[in-house]
Amino acid sequence: MNNLMIKPIRNLGKQSLKIRLLFIFLMVACILFSCNSKQETKKISSEGKWNTYENEYISMKYPSDYTIEDNFEVGADNLQSYTTDTTTATATNEIDILPCNATKDKPWLHIVLSRMKIHLPLRDFMQASIAFKGMGNEEVYQSSDIDSTSFAGLPALSVTFSYPQGFGDTLVQRQTIVQLPDYKLYYININCYSGIVHNSQKLAPVFKMLETLKFK
């Protein structure tokens, strides 16, 4: 994960009018979601030293020394599906793939599916995600530029965030937003501590998992 310049997340008030409107739209959707959540059907199977996780939207493999958790409270990254002619928001599918014995030398994944009903450039959603980060209580910095990339042959954008943890520790998150042809958005977050951010061997498990990630 690249580590470029470090800069504070800018206040939402300095964003463009379009980003402000998108932010308001997403906040309304999050409120609606809190009253209309539902549980996704999931399937977990074992295959050698790797397990397979599958639900209605994705499938992926993960090492046997990792575990899946997918019943979390909605967070700031979770942009909800919303239409102006309905009063409900479709539940976001959100999973964490965590090491069974968590230590600072083990990375983990956080994946969020968002089904937006508005057609905007992918970069607008990334700017909204950055704005959300700045609205939280945690100290957070944008530590890379927004990079144009691709994931599984699909258009994507990536950016890196840094969260100072005290005692010299920093939590680093590399967020990639992937846009499907039907305008579903996937927020794929690689998380690790700064001590292993340049250690390809330590990061190998999450990259191998992402190689198996398939969208439905």
Question: Tens-of-pLDDT digits for all 216 residues of the chain?
Answer: 654 445 556 444 445 555 555 555 555 444 443 333 344 555 555 555 899 998 878 899 999 999 998 854 444 344 443 333 333 344 447 899 999 999 999 999 999 888 666 778 899 999 999 998 888 788 999 999 999 999 999 999 999 999 999 888 999 999 999 998 887 889 999 999 999 999 999 999 999 999 999 998
- Say if pTM beats, i.e. exceeds, 0.85: no
Return d(Cα 19, Cα 134) in angstroms, integer: 13
Token pair belonging to 9 = 């997340």
Return d(Cα 21, Cα 124) in angstroms, integer: 11
Domain ranges in the chain are: 7-215
Please enumerate in sequence order all residues whose Cβ is within 8 A of that of 177, keeping only pairs 6 or more positions apart, or say none.
122, 125, 126, 129, 156, 157, 158, 185, 186, 187, 188
Question: What is the CATH architecture assignment of 7-215?
Answer: 3-Layer(aba) Sandwich (3.40)
Return d(Cα 164, Cα 139) in angstroms, integer: 7
